Amino acid sequence: MIKGTTKLLGVIGHPVEHSLSPAMHNAAISHLGVDFVYLPFPVKPGDLKAALAGFAAIGVRGFSITIPHKQAILPLLSEVSPIARAIGAVNTVYLTDKGWCGTNTDVEGFLAPLQTPPTPPYQGGAKDATSPLERGNTAVESCPPPYQGGAVESCPPPYQGGARGGSDWSQKVAVILGNGGAARAVVAGCAQLGCAEIHVVGRNEQNLAEFQQSWVNSPMPVQNLQVHTWDKLSMLISQADLLVNTTPVGMYPQGEKSPIADGALDRISAGAIVYDLIYTPNPTQFLKDAQLRGARAIDGLEMLVQQGAAALKIWLDKESVPVDVMRQALRQHLGLD
């Protein structure tokens, strides 16, 4: 029940009506019995600065960010975590005595189903100084979280069969399809895993070159990143231990499409992990094709749940939140159960 004491959380975007975040966050809030509510707030691009001032005035504790504000909000924040600066986008904001602080939980969400045992690589900006992303680069702006510690809950793998990588990625090769904003979070995640090679495949040579260069001067440089045009994909797939789709190809309503032609996917190694950031349809054609070839599949729903769980822990100042409840709420909302 919403009362006069209820504290506000939410998501901002334009449009925001389609957001799945209220379903999973309010399910967790209800399960925990805390006096919070999570609401969608439609904010037009020109109103972002005013919205932040309004949120502070009415005591909003924190919020998620979706399109088109993930980059635009950066200069309006008092502090930004190194991982958010490296990715170039913020998806989670919380209020401190210094003002609004921004971070990005997409990396933690991406990594959660890949890690055994799962450990939080980033907790609102507090990271191990020996992280592969930050080693040798201590002069980074820090955005301390409002809590210390906390472990990401373990989660059941998708498709009743399991799709988890081993804990040692130092000899493994990651191949990433696409070079947009989502790909930046995946590159950061693969660097955090310690992958031996990280390959990004795109269609525009200039965009690929700019993508690679952006990591050279990043707060968290990635040294083992290579970029390739799409004609090199077939060769790269044969080397991939982890193949990740960050493109929108195959998303509803074009669920019959796949970013990779059947012939190229034939080269995937049995046992390789194929990860699609798309969660509707579930599974995507890409994942179905990969499973037929002996690959292990992870869908985007788990990343969505885990990045949301990481944000909720920050806002509620809790070491754990009911991830299973959040996952089930989304599956029911999407009609997957």
Catalytic residues: 70
Helices (H), 202-259: 205-216, 233-237
Q: How far apart are CA 96 and CA 235, in angstroms?
A: 48
φ, ψ dihedrals at 245, nearest 5°:
-95, 115
Residue 14 CA to residue 69 CA, distance in Å, equals 8
Measured between alpha carbons, how far is 247 from 276 in angstroms, rounded to an integer?
9
Which two structure tokens, joined as six digits, stand for 98? 């210094």
Nearest CA among 285, 282, 290 for reference residue 256: 285
How many beta carbons lie within 10 A of that of residue 39, not counting itself? 16
Task: Say if CB 81 and CB 57 are below 8 A apart.
Answer: no
Report the DSSP pairing between strands 197-202 and 7-13.
unpaired
C-alpha dihedral sign at 67, 43, 108, 290: negative
Tokens of 277: 């950031």
Instruction: Report CA dihedral (319, 325, 327, 329) to the nearest 10 degrees.
Output: -140
